[in-house]
Amino acid sequence: MRLAAMILNTAQTPLIVLPLCVNACVRNSYGLRFAVYEETEVLKFRDVEMIHINHLTRTVDLRTFPILVESRLKNLTQKLIREAQSPPTRCVSTQPPEVFEYDPTYKQKLTDDITWTNEGLDNLQEQCLVIIEVDVTLWVTIEGGAVASPPEITGAICPNNCHNNGTCVEGVCVCDHPWIGDDCSVNMNDALDLDIIGSGVPCDLNRYACNSVNLYGDNFAEVENLTCHYRNLAPNLTVIAEAVTSPAEYLNTETVVCTLPGEGLYQVAVSNNGQTTSPYQVYIIYNSYCHHCTQTEGCRTRMDICVIEGVCYENGFVNPQQKNQACRPEYSTDSWTTLRVDVIYEYRLFFLRIDGNFLVTEAENLNQFGNMQLRTNRNKKKSLTFNGVDQFLAAAHQGDQCLSDPDFCYLGVTFSFTVRFIHLGDDELYVYSSCGSNPNSVGFDLRYVNKQFIFTASTRSREWSVEFSDVKTDVFYAYQFSWSVQYGLVFYVDGLEVARTTKYTTRDVSVPTKCHIFIGTDQTRKKSAAMELEYLHILRASKDILLQLGYMIGFPELTTNPSLRVVTDSSEQAHFLCEFSQLAADVDYIVEFYVDGRMAANLTNTSSPVIAHEVDVGDLHYGSSVYCEVID
């Protein structure tokens, strides 16, 4: 068996026999080369696109190559094998080391360097371990009668031959002082390399478990004195306390875990011997509701919040115990502000009629494109059909920043609508869009992509998304989406909560692109949704707040059927009183009176009862039937 104990670089594709079974990736000072197994056990090296971070240009003097003659390389290889504490020959053959020779067929010695002979030895040891693990003919019977790999071989092979800084005992390096590590390659008295702490940015305890953090570096060792060292800092990053030491959790040679007391600014370092530390680095644990923090400038207190009984709340956050109270810094920064129904602004986009290029709703007029038509649908409600080609609605809403800029929706926002999808294919489409998914803007989006719906709310610094896919065509769904910074996104179908998330991704859009509001398409106007929409009700508060205030969301629905009562006055004139339970909302009630199945009167009032007089309903005859219906 011919094995190479030295690896040579070449600009060509040399043939070098290596002690590898299948594949190997060997590192050298110029980068990486990948060894590919071939049937003849001859390997071809091919350069890959990876450069060593410490790469330096090297000039090679071809005139010195003859120095590394065949005999010297061969003798050097055999000497390394012979002197190794973990003799690799025992797993392959009982023959002397001379059987492991440098391949003499390759003549050009282009490295002019003997340091990589050790790499060949390491590869040979790896080959050894593979052979004795898979070749059962080499296995022996051990204590207890079990058959296993020869322990005198597996126990004699240690990683990197313990770097000659220790003794290999049953496959484990017993290091000489002051060497430590799995392969005795680390001097415990040397300062460690510390590259980064966590993600390298301040950790928001509202989003993450920040107290325990990974430290990434090099030469960490699993030893008793592996310790974390931290110092407390002032908000401006100046040191204000002596270092405190705590045990570190070893994960691997490049990662340890340190645990900090909690919220605060720290300098953190790590040590293998408990005394000699790595350079200190800044690590900040902060509450984003209270402070703005950066890795280089420290922390500053926010001025746009409330601090109530020592707890920080962002503008619009509600009292968890009483959701009709909220943090409103413009009124008070240290106490709750009581909310009222009349401070909740809403857009009741309930369709009334189409007037030219405008769709007239209870709230305002919307621009309609594609000659859209209103109709009375199977639910006996007015609805608007989008053909999926060129029909959509648009609105500027320049007077209300919340609808296009969620940073101004201090109490959150709730969207309520009833929709029937006519067709859902493979193409992306938008039901509602104010650039919520645009990376350069802020707003809200409800879009269909990859056979699922995604509702997105994005501010200048954060983005939330919730997904759902259980949607059928030709079915009316009553959808509600609620969003607030405090409670995140919540999605309801037919009144039932089906998804909720408070998780968000961070973003930085300091000057967002301004967008209009589109229904049935997005800003590009390239694709239109095929759907039927009954109404769109937008309220500038999260659903949690609206329910606490007794606000009506969507189409108002009476809880009980109306009743008709007839009274007569002194002149014996009849009066018909349509009575019903009023809703806890400011709505107009439209009451229709029917005589013998024919609508005789249509009246509007803001409260119960609604009264129709005898003159309103016309002549009545003996046996006539009279009833009323309430449209709210």
* 440 located within any domain: yes
Please answer whether residues 505 and 463 qualify as being in contact, where contact means their C-beta atoms are separated by less than 8 angstroms: yes
Domain boundary among 244, 275, 301: 301
* 485 located within any domain: yes
Co-location of 212 and 274 in the same domain: yes
**pLDDT (0 to 100) of residue 399:** 61
Co-location of 607 and 534 in the same domain: no
Provide the number of structural domains found in the chain.
5
Say how many C-beta atoms besides its own lie within 10 A of residue 500's C-beta: 13
Q: Please give the residue range of the domain that contains residue 208.
A: 193-301
* 606 located within any domain: yes
* 162 located within any domain: no
**pLDDT (0 to 100) of residue 19:** 34
* 178 located within any domain: no
Co-location of 497 and 361 in the same domain: yes
Domain boundary among 506, 522, 548: 548
Give the H or E element holding residue 353.
Answer: strand 346-355
**pLDDT (0 to 100) of residue 302:** 95
Please answer whether residues 478 and 418 qualify as being in contact, where contact means their C-beta atoms are separated by less than 8 angstroms: yes
Burial of residue 328, with CB atoms counted within 10 A of its CB: 0-12 exposed, 13-18 middle, 19 or more buried? buried
Co-location of 387 and 480 in the same domain: yes
**pLDDT (0 to 100) of residue 119:** 63
What is the DSSP track for 25-81? EEEETTEEEEEE--TTS-EEEEE-S---TT-------GGGGGGS-HHHHHHHHHHHH
Give the H or E element holding residue 621.
Answer: none
Cis peptide before 178 (omega within 30 of 0): yes
Say how many C-beta atoms besides its own lie within 10 A of residue 73's C-beta: 21
DSSP H helices in 84-192: 117-134, 151-154
Between CA 615 and CA 221 the distance in angstroms is 97
3-state secondary structure of 133: helix
Question: Taking the CA of residue 68 as centre, how many other CA atoms within 13 Å lie in the half-sphere pointing to its CB?
Answer: 25
Strands annotated E in 260-345: 264-271, 281-286, 291-294, 298-301, 305-308, 311-314, 318-319, 322-326, 337-338
Co-location of 359 and 490 in the same domain: yes
Co-location of 93 and 203 in the same domain: no
Residue type, 123: N
Domain boundary among 495, 520, 548: 548
Provide the CATH number for the domain around residue 206.
Answer: 2.60.40
**Largest Cα–Cα distance of the chain, in whole Å?**
134
What is the DSSP track for 543-607? HHHHHHTT---SS---SS--EEEEEE-TT--EEEEEE-PPPSS---EEEEEEETTEEEEEEEESS
Co-location of 204 and 107 in the same domain: no
Q: What is the mean pLDDT of each run of 10 residues along the chain (632 residues)?
A: 32 34 31 32 36 43 46 56 51 44 42 58 69 78 79 75 87 90 88 94 94 95 94 96 96 96 97 95 97 96 95 94 92 93 83 93 91 89 92 80 88 94 91 93 93 94 92 91 94 90 92 92 92 93 88 73 90 90 72 89 88 88 87 68
* 9 located within any domain: no
Co-location of 362 and 283 in the same domain: no
Q: What's the pTM value of the predicted model, to 2 decimals?
A: 0.63
Between CA 456 and CA 447 the distance in angstroms is 8
Residue that the structure tokens 């709210």 belong to:
632
Co-location of 486 and 527 in the same domain: yes
Co-location of 494 and 360 in the same domain: yes
* 161 located within any domain: no
Between CA 416 and CA 493 the distance in angstroms is 10
**pLDDT (0 to 100) of residue 120:** 62
**pLDDT (0 to 100) of residue 404:** 83
* 179 located within any domain: no
Co-location of 331 and 348 in the same domain: no
Co-location of 199 and 277 in the same domain: yes
**pLDDT (0 to 100) of residue 512:** 93
